[in-house]
Amino acid sequence: MTKTTSTFEHLIDREKGLKQSLTSGQLSMIAIGGAIGTGLFLGSGFAIGFAGPSVLVSYGIGALIALLLMGCLAEMTVRHPTSGSFGSFAEFYVAPWFGFAIRYAYWSSIVFAVGTEITAAAMYMKYWYPDVPGGYWMVAFSMALIVANAFSVKVFGAIEYLFSLIKLCAIVVFILLGAYVVYGAPADSSIGFANYSNDRGFFPNGWWGTWVAVIVAFFSYLSIEMIAVAAGEAKDPQRAVTRAFRITVVRLVVFYLLTIALVLAIVPWGQNSGGQSPFVTVMEATGVPYAGAVFNAVILIAALSAMNSQLYITTRLMFSLSRAGQAPAVFGRLNSKGVPLSALLLSSVGIGLATLLYLAYPEKAFTLMMSIAMFGAMFTWAGIFLTHLFFRRRQAGQPLAFKLWGYPWTSLGGLLLMLAVMVTTLFTEEFAPTLLCGIPFLAVILLIYFLRFRQKAAVSTDAPKPLPLQR
C-alpha cells in the first residue's frame, strides 16, 4: 500500500538507506553521461534530415527548454534533495496521483531510452564487424553494464566519470579539429559555412521541418534531469546540486550547438540525414588517418555511458516507488553495498525489449524505441514545469537557496513549449507512436492508481518547513 506522508520530510525519510557518496563532479558527469549519447551522435543525423542547416535553431529551442527545466529543478532539488526527485515533488505539491504518474512515466521512458542506447551500440559495431549479428553485441554490453551497476554507487560514479570524461575530451578534440578544417579549407572546396545556404537555403524544409527537428533535439537533451534523481546520494546535496546544474547546462548547450555547427560546415546537410553517425562522416571527411574509426569508438563509449547512467536512474526510481508503497517491496531492498539489486534487474527490461525489436526490425528499431521513449520524457518535463508553479505558490514568502529568474513566465513558457512539442508528434509519421502508445499507457497507470492506491495516498496540504540555507 502507499505509505502516508504528513510532511515532505516524512516523504524523504521513507527513501533513506542509499549511501551519500557522489560529488558535484560526479553528479555533473552522470547528467552529461546520460545527455551526451545517442541523441547527439546518431539522433542529430535524423534531426538534420528534417531541418537541414536550420537544425541549429531546433537545438537552440531545445536548449532553451532544457535551461528552463534545469532552473525549475535546481530550485526544488536544493530545497528537497531526494532520490524520488520530481516524482516526490509532484506527489507533495500537486497531487499523489500526479506523482505516481510522473514516476512510472519517467521510469518507462528511461527504460526504453536504455533500449535506444544498446540498439545504437549494435549499429556502431557494424562499422568494424558488419557481418556479426547485432544481438551478440547487445547481450555482451548489457551484461557488462548491469554488473557495473550492481557494485556500490561509488564504483558506478567512478566508471561514469571516466566514460563521460572520454566523451568530453573527444568532443573538445572534434571542435578543435573541425574548426581547423573549416578555417583552413580552400575557398573552392565543399567545406565552409556556405553549406548553410547552398542547398535550398537555411530552411530547406521550411519552418515546419525546423520545428519537427525540435522533437529529436528534445530527445538529445533528455537525461539532464538525472542530477535531481542522483541528488539523494550526493555528499553535500545543496552545494553539489547547484554547482552541477550550472556546469551541466553550460557544457551541454555549448557542446551541442558548436559540434552541430561544425558538422554542417564540413559535410553538406544532404549527406547527413540518418544512417551512420554524422560525426563519423565528418571525421572521415577530414582525411586524418583512422579518425573515423577512433571517433566511432568514442561514440560507442558515449552510448554505453548514457546506458550506464540510465540504468542507474531507472533503478533509483523503482527504489523510490517501492519505498512509497507503489511497487513491490522487494524493489526497495538494498544489498550489502547499498544497491537496490532487484530494482536494477527489473529496470533492465528495456534491454530485452530492444534486443527483440532489433532482431525483428533492424532498420526501424532505433526510431521506434526513440519515439516510444519520448512520451514518458515529455510528460515528465511538462509535469516538472507544472509542479514548479505549484511549488512556488506554496513557498511564497519563504527564502530559497536557489531561485529561478522570471517566475512565473519561465515555468509557464517551458510548460507551453513542451505541450506544443507533444502535440507535434501526432502530425509526424516517424513519431506518431509517441502519443498513440503513450496516452493509453498513461491511462492504464492512472487506472491502476485509482483502483489500487487512491485510498492510501494521504498527503498533508501544509507547506513544508524551509530547510536551513547554506552560505
Q: Look up the pTM and report it.
A: 0.81
For residue 471, being part of any structural domain is answered with no
* Per-residue CA distances from 169 to 245, 298, 431 (Å): 20, 10, 33
For residue 418, being part of any structural domain is answered with yes
For residue 14, being part of any structural domain is answered with no
Q: What is the pLDDT of residue 275?
A: 55
Q: What is the pLDDT of residue 207?
A: 92
Query: Alpha-carbon distance 163 to 298, whole Å?
Result: 9
For residue 441, being part of any structural domain is answered with yes
* Residue the block writes with cell 517491496: 329
CATH of the domain at 80: 1.20.1740.10
In DSSP terms, 450 is beta-bridged to: none
Q: What is the pLDDT of residue 14?
A: 56
Residue 411 Cα to chain centre, angstroms: 19
For residue 163, being part of any structural domain is answered with yes
From first to last of its 471 residues, what are the pLDDT tens digits of the chain? 444 455 666 665 655 555 555 666 666 666 666 667 667 777 788 888 888 899 999 999 998 998 888 888 888 887 877 655 788 888 889 998 998 899 889 888 888 877 777 888 888 888 888 888 888 888 888 888 788 777 766 676 677 778 778 877 888 888 888 888 888 877 777 788 888 888 888 999 899 999 999 998 888 887 777 766 666 666 666 666 667 777 777 777 777 888 889 888 888 887 765 556 777 877 877 777 788 888 888 888 888 877 877 787 788 778 877 877 788 888 888 777 777 888 888 877 777 777 777 777 777 777 777 777 788 889 999 999 999 999 988 887 677 777 778 888 999 999 999 999 999 998 888 888 888 888 998 999 999 888 887 765 544 444 444 334 333
For residue 331, being part of any structural domain is answered with yes
For residue 228, being part of any structural domain is answered with yes
Indicate the Cα dihedral angle 85, 303, 181, 214, nearest 10°. -50
The DSSP line for 136-182 is HHHHHHHHHHHHHHHS-HHHHHHHHHHHHHHHHHHHHHHHHHHHHHH
Q: What is the pLDDT of residue 13?
A: 60
Contact 386, 414 (CB under 8 A): no
Indicate the Cα dihedral angle 167, 170, 175, 180, nearest 10°. 180
For residue 438, being part of any structural domain is answered with yes
Q: What is the pLDDT of residues 255-306, one digit of tens each?
A: 788 888 988 888 888 776 555 677 787 787 777 778 888 888 888 888 887 7
Contact 313, 229 (CB under 8 A): yes
Q: How many folded domains does the chain comprise?
A: 1
Query: Alpha-carbon distance 30 to 36, whole Å?
Result: 10
Query: Alpha-carbon distance 210 to 200, whole Å?
Result: 14
In terms of residue numbers, what domain contains 447? 20-456
Q: What is the pLDDT of residue 349?
A: 76
